[in-house]
Amino acid sequence: MVLVGRSWLLAVVAFLYLPIAVMIAMAFNASSLYALPIKPSLQWFVALAGDAPLLTATRNSLAIALFTSIVATLVGTLASIALSRQAFRGRSLLKALLLPPIAIPWLITGTAMLVFFFWTGIGRGLHAMMIGHVALAIPYVVLVVGTGMEAVRVDLEEAAMSLGSTPVHAFVAVTMPLLAPSIVAAGLFAFAVSLDQFVVSYFLSTPGVSTLPVEIYSSIRKGFTPEINAISAIFFGVSTLLVLLFAQLSNLGGNRGRR
Amino acid sequence: MATRIAPSLPARLSSRRAWTTAGLLIPAYGWLTLAVFLPLGAMLFFSFLKAAPFGDRPLVFTFDQYLAFFRRPYLFDVAWRSIELGLWTTGLCALIGLPAALALARATRGRARQVLFLLIILPFWTNGLVRIFSWTIVLREGGVLDQALHLVLPSAPGLSLLYSYPAIVIGLVHAYLPYMILTCYLSVAAIEDSVVEAARSLGARTPAIFWKIILPLSLPGLVSGAILIFVPVIGSFMEPRILGGRIGVTMGTVIEDQFTQAFNWPLGAALSFIMLAVVLLIFGLTSRILPGRVASF
């Protein structure tokens, strides 16, 4: 039984990684028709360096992700403090309002943003994508920081206050340092959410101003070249690094026991 | 509100506290209002218009956009196909994911479990588009799958799965399987060994243990996994387009067309809200089955 279970798990992992492995391997293959066996070559990575639209799109993606990560983390952490430390009427309603941006299909959120931004004159482009991405990332930040906050004991803060420190000082001096890993994790999470976001960017981009996923999408629809593999392989590597960092910081699946 | 006359000290403190709370909350909720709630409201408004009010076109209200759905039989077919796609994907994810979660919880331990866990959730944080693109290389005519098949069976005809219904299902299962494994794992890991041992010592065989103990206790995980998969799948448009080509017509691609090709925004808005109604219906039905689950998410 144990053996069957383990083989099933390995088969599932193989299924999850097979296409990704093929995609990365083909980035290093000289054949532009993805022919086997693989002839090692770096030509597609070299070609990438001269591809101005892709490079611009990559810069846009990084700029939006950085902006999203900073703003969503700041705004989301503030909200998270209020939601998890203070009792007030309507708190559960406010918590429930975090769900729509996560639960509604991005297609609907994205088209709704397009309609509203176009109608009100906010328009499309970099600023529109930034507004959209921050909104998508805020609920995740609130959830990640909120979970971290649960692990930090309230009585430490209360002890500081009973020893004469103000609520704000108690929070900054006692809770903040304990919360720091969660906040950094939330920032990384927001960065990854923005970097991977395709649907909302797709509706808010203009022909000249797009992001890497949008650019990859239009290249796929135009036809296949291993150049897309090369950029995808780099993209995959960066996303993986971010997730590993996030896992390390938020102590995912481990039990170092902060409580 | 209560202490209008001579506010006492606690009341003044609590009003200061209320201001702090509001100050902490307003940036986040203001942002969400501007970027999510107002746009959804605008879209609802648009769905009742005859035409988008740009230029000097007048505002004409109508229910036509919603009626269009019932008047055009092909839209019904498309909607059903999307739901079918959702059912196939969710079903296959459950069939593959529950055993995987069981194996993860019962057949692995320690470091190996941590590594497997990370391996399973890692791809789901990498770009979905990149993963779908990877499948096109594997599945296309003369692609990696065909070439591998020819190495084993030189005379076999090519499969050329790309641009077919199974290709869309494979891509979607690949994209959403980690959700199912994760939610099922959370349920399965909570089942105590003693329950299973008790059943075994009373003479229950493995199938009976599965049907009578494991499956009922992992139901919450299966249902939350199913919601997390079904909802985005019926709204998917990129996967059917890339993997399905011409046959990949779903509700998602029809809605996308209204906004990017046909420029019939009111119709697109109405179709979006019909889809949203389906999504809300699903949340409503399942929150009855799973008290507290969805709310505490």
HEC string for B207-221: HHHHHHHHHHHHHHH
Q: With a cut of 0.90, is the ipTM above it? A: no
Which of A12, A26, A67, A244 would you mutate first to test chain B, the one with the most B CBs within 10 A? A12
Token pair recorded at residue A215: 């650019």
Flag whether A209 is in a domain: yes
B140 band by pLDDT with thresholds 50, 70 and 90? confident
The answer, for B231 touching chain A at a CB cutoff of 8 Å, is yes
| Fold of the domain spanning B79-257 | MetI-like fold (1.10.3720)
pLDDT at B292: 47
pLDDT at A63: 95
A110 band by pLDDT with thresholds 50, 70 and 90? very high
Flag whether A245 is in a domain: yes
A108 shares a domain with A13: no
Domain count, chain A: 2
- Say yes or no to pLDDT of A117 above 90: yes
A72 shares a domain with A3: no
What are the C-alpha distances in Å from B83 to residues A108, A167, B90, B200, B274? 16, 52, 10, 40, 13
A125 shares a domain with A7: no
pTM, two decimals, is: 0.85
For the stretch B72-119, pLDDT in tens is: 888 888 888 899 999 999 999 999 999 999 999 888 888 888 888 888
For the stretch B209-261, pLDDT in tens is: 888 888 888 888 898 889 889 988 988 989 999 998 888 889 999 999 999 88
A58 shares a domain with A37: no
Residues of chain B with Cβ-Cβ distance to A18 below 8 Å are: 138
A127 shares a domain with A89: yes
A59 shares a domain with A147: yes
A118 shares a domain with A244: yes
Q: How close does chain A come to B73, measured CA to CA in Å? A: 23
Q: What is the CATH number of the domain that holds A207?
A: 1.10.3720.10
Q: How close does chain B come to A82, measured CA to CA in Å? A: 6
Taking the C-alpha atoms of residue B296 and residue A138, their distance in angstroms, rounded to an integer, is 17
Flag whether A255 is in a domain: no
- Say yes or no to pLDDT of A257 above 70: no
A76 shares a domain with A14: no
A17: domain range?
Answer: 1-41
Of B214, B256, B184, the closest CA to residue A12 belongs to: B184
The answer, for B174 touching chain A at a CB cutoff of 8 Å, is yes
pLDDT at A254: 44
A17 shares a domain with A91: no
The reply to whether residue B133 touches residue A78, judged by beta carbons under 8 angstroms, is no
A18 shares a domain with A76: no
A67 shares a domain with A30: no
A114 shares a domain with A227: yes
First to last CA, chain B: 34
Biggest CA-to-CA distance, chain A: 72
pLDDT at B5: 52
